Amino acid sequence: MIEMRNVHFSYPGREVLKGITLTVERGELFGLLGPNGAGKSTLLLHLNGILRPKRGKVLVDGIEPAKNPREVRKKVGIVFQDPNDQLFSPTVFEDVAFGPYNLGLRGEELRERVLWALKKVGMRNYADRETKELSFGEKKRIAIATVLAMKPEVVVFDEPFANLDFRGKSLMRKLITELKNEGKTVILASHEADYLSLCDRIALIDGGRVVTVGTPEEILGNPELLRKHNLDVPPLVELFLSLGLPIPKDPEDARRKIMEALKNSGPSRFGNARDIP
């Protein structure tokens, strides 16, 4: 679905992407992991033609975003880190309607699309609210609705978990999993390795270069690699590695894997599983 071939990009006086080559398959949940300043956001902005490579090529479903940004923006929706960069209308309804209106939807069809997108993010009752009076977490969900309302094939999230509380993070995980199950191609960029355990594959980038690409087990299960690139090793991952268990995708998966290990191990290793409440 996405091909980046030797992508180079510089801001004035500073080379930020130094030859990125990556492929994301259709329907894949793909993580971009890298420390602050690695070039993740800069790379994402190439996917819908906001930035153009100085050298190299980006292709989305065969379309070059730099040459055909209008066409590619029907396929790729980017959820920015800060929802204030995405919302600019007086009301939630108008913000979410903006994209589909530009796609040509009108009247009842437009209204239905907006309410559908708001329902997807659990904000159906917010249509008439003033955007500026919403909390950060609420704005974040409305920003996602503005993207979903376009029904893109590829949904890109830049630091989706940043500044969300526990419930916000759980809802975000659920939504990302839902999108993946619907067959969408999803890209998550984050400097927090913890949140990328959901992914099918992860690319570790640093200093504008791809360090390595692998499964969550290969990348997150390598604490030395993470530390070398200034990334936190998720505590749950450390715990599971020390117990010799496979890395969990999320807290619910962690619970399942622990219960399974307790059942299989018997009293010698973990005590008696039946005694655990």
Q: Tell me how far, at minimum, the Cβ of 268 lies from ligand ATP, in Å.
A: 44
The binder of ligand ATP chosen from 31, 39, 216, 248 (CB under 6 A) = 39
The binder of ligand ATP chosen from 3, 18, 23, 37 (CB under 6 A) = 37
The binder of ligand ATP chosen from 40, 73, 139, 173 (CB under 6 A) = 40
Q: How many residues bind ligand ATP (CB under 6 A)?
A: 12
Q: Pick the piece of the chain touching ligand ATP (CB under 6 A) from 37-45, 49-57, 102-110, 244-252.
A: 37-45
Contact flag: residue 38 with ligand ATP (CB under 6 A): yes
Q: Pick the piece of the chain touching ligand ATP (CB under 6 A) from 30-38, 130-138, 217-225, 269-277.
A: 30-38
Contact flag: residue 48 with ligand ATP (CB under 6 A): no
Contact flag: residue 42 with ligand ATP (CB under 6 A): yes
Cβ proximity to ligand ATP, 16 vs 134, nearer residue: 16
Question: Cα dist. 199→4, 10, 125 in Å?
Answer: 19, 29, 31
Cβ proximity to ligand ATP, 11 vs 244, nearer residue: 11
Cβ proximity to ligand ATP, 14 vs 167, nearer residue: 14
The binder of ligand ATP chosen from 20, 28, 34, 161 (CB under 6 A) = 34
- Joined together, the tokens standing for residue 122 give 């659990």
Q: Tell me how far, at minimum, the Cβ of 14 lies from ligand ATP, in Å.
A: 6
CB-based contacts of 96, cutoff 8 Å, min separation 6: 114, 117, 118, 127, 142, 145, 146, 149
The binder of ligand ATP chosen from 36, 242, 268, 272 (CB under 6 A) = 36
Binding mask 164-203 for ligand ATP (x = CB under 6 A): ---------------------------x------------
DSSP letter string over the chain? -EEEEEEEEEETTEEEEEEEEEEE-TT-EEEEE--TTSSHHHHHTTTTTSS--SEEEEEETTB-TTT-HHHHHHHEEEE-SSGGGT--SSBHHHHHHHHHHHTT--HHHHHHHHHHHHHHTT-GGGTTSBGGGS-HHHHHHHHHHHHHTT--SEEEEESTTTT--HHHHHHHHHHHHHHHHTT-EEEEEES-GGGGGG-SEEEEEETTEEEEEE-HHHHHT-HHHHHHTT-PPPHHHHHHHHHT-PPPSSHHHHHHHHHHHHHHH-HHHH--GGG--
Cβ proximity to ligand ATP, 150 vs 220, nearer residue: 220
Residue ranges binding ligand ATP (CB under 6 A): 11, 14, 16, 34, 36-42, 191
